[in-house]
Structure 1
């Protein structure tokens, strides 16, 4: 395949999977490793990808990837994460689900749970859980972010402040190996902080592409999380931080 045809496909794979590897692209295109390395170098020089060891990722910016594109990143991993997370949520409890494509996947896995009170600031999650006729679904209200169906702002924050949850399931945009949980939207970060304060147990759901990304706003620390559900082992410093803070890492990829 000509380089002009490979490059758009490489970018499409990076958007779908969160990153690309030299080995994976060699197998995909059937070309030599040096050919792929040259492609990645040129894509990095043009700002379309950022090189990392063994491959490349989407470039870090102060803006998040589009919501429809985020839905396509690591879809199977998100399903695995969501199933494991939902398995730890009992019937007859209150739960908050925040904005995110992985929290939407968790919502889909809760359709057969009974006796749930679900509060969310995500219109998409409310629509998903409308299929669970035994669940009471409460939407916070707030300013609608049309790009992803999220509800943010003071009204949403004040609604959350008046409630208490047995469980919260939150997502994020990026994870730093020092334990920081990061996002792009400062208003959304404020909502997530409030959710964590109002919940007895907090579950973080984030696939391994978040290890490779950067975002400017800190939500919280892994020290405030009870269980971190992901699909791949994080770096050793990240694991050591979780061990020190007694945050359980639950690996959810299919064996």
Structure 2
């Protein structure tokens, strides 16, 4: 069977099951893993699927992805961004890391840092840093969102207001062409806005997949962010506008490691 016939069936399976795997498709079509990887890459390049580790998922436009899919999507790029972000955080800083798989990658990249105070509303971040002797970790409290370990609501905001952070590191679900930083959950957005108000400096960490996604609610604008770390050139004239706003943009080149999102 040629790829002309495989592609529509792959999309049908993805619509039915929510995701497809390289192993499952190779067995289904009786072709090699390499052939299926090429098919998935072609479909991803056409915007029909998003590649994740071991397969692909339907592209998310106005709904958020599940936690495991978000964690796998562009994992290599998130790691590169996280290491660049960690390099900009001095020892002895007080920082906030919010909900998201990109900020979890930043937490993992802080293993060599010393004398950090890390406040977070992300239980995954707290668990990542639990064995790091160089960090004191404060968890905000709040309503636990079981889907991803996030803590949201008034209690989280109340805790945040008791601090003044050197650096806030936030992620997002989408970034539009006008520079609006977007997300899905209104309670999460309220927490992120509180974080930004209580911080001297703000970092945004977001890989290039966020440029093609949409989300309904606004956290802030890039004009209010001090440093934006990403792996892809900004679309349109957004880079020029960041220069006008005084927002520094740092492109984070890929490491030599193989990206988990491009198996």
TM-score between both structures, scaled by the size of structure 2: 0.79
Aligned-CA RMSD value: 2.9
Shift of 1:70: 0.3
Matching residue of 1:99: 99
Contact persistence 1:141–1:155 (CA under 8 A): yes
- Listed as ranges, the matches of 1:133-212 within 5 Å are 133-212=133-212
Q: For the structure 1 residues 200 and 30, does the alpha-carbon distance in structure 2 shift closer, same or farther, using more than 3 Å as the test?
A: closer
Distance 1:12 1:222 in 2: 35
Moved over 3 A (4+): 4-13, 25-31
Distance 2:113 2:39 in 1: 46
Q: For the structure 1 residues 59 and 89, does the alpha-carbon distance in structure 2 shift closer, same or farther, using more than 3 Å as the test?
A: closer
Matching residue of 2:74: 74
Q: Deviations over 1:76-116 (max 9, x none)?
A: 00000000000000001100000000000000001110000
TM-score between both structures, scaled by the size of structure 1: 0.81
Report 1 or 2 for greater relative contact order, CA contacts < 8 Å, sequence distance ≥ 6.
Answer: 2
Distance 2:237 2:115 in 1: 40
Q: How many residues align?
A: 229
Distance 2:209 2:35 in 1: 20
Distance 2:253 2:157 in 1: 34
Contiguous gaps of at least 5 residues in structure 1: 14-24, 50-55
Shift of 1:9: 7.2
Contiguous gaps of at least 5 residues in structure 2: 22-33, 51-56, 256-263
Matching residue of 2:61: 60
Distance 1:220 1:30 in 2: 38
